[in-house]
Structure 1
């Protein structure tokens, strides 16, 4: 049994938004307030965890924090 894909498939995006055209999908995702990114080919990409309501791991913080302070 394989793990589900990280991102929604094209068919799932069409079902979610009601559109197959990428520009219309983007407009609908914005209207619905669903977080997405646009990939290099201009298609919207939605993570499965966004739709399922799971929390994604926090992104790594920029910069460096010392292990010992005041030494």
Structure 2
């Protein structure tokens, strides 16, 4: 694998773990203090921003929009 692909896939996994922790901590541990609509809206904003960051990072490094880069072009 190319070094840039390794960096991108590591970033994607790290961002997915971060989003999972945000979802768990923010929306399952503190959901008693918020209205259900606020929880739903905040959840979608975190997920949208997180995966947009992956797509922008991937586009900047590889010139294409995708979440993962496993295919080898040999």
Q: TM-score, normalised by structure 2?
A: 0.26
Higher share in strand: 1
More RCO (CA 8 Å, sep 6+): 2
Q: TM-score, normalised by structure 1?
A: 0.26
Higher share in helix: 2
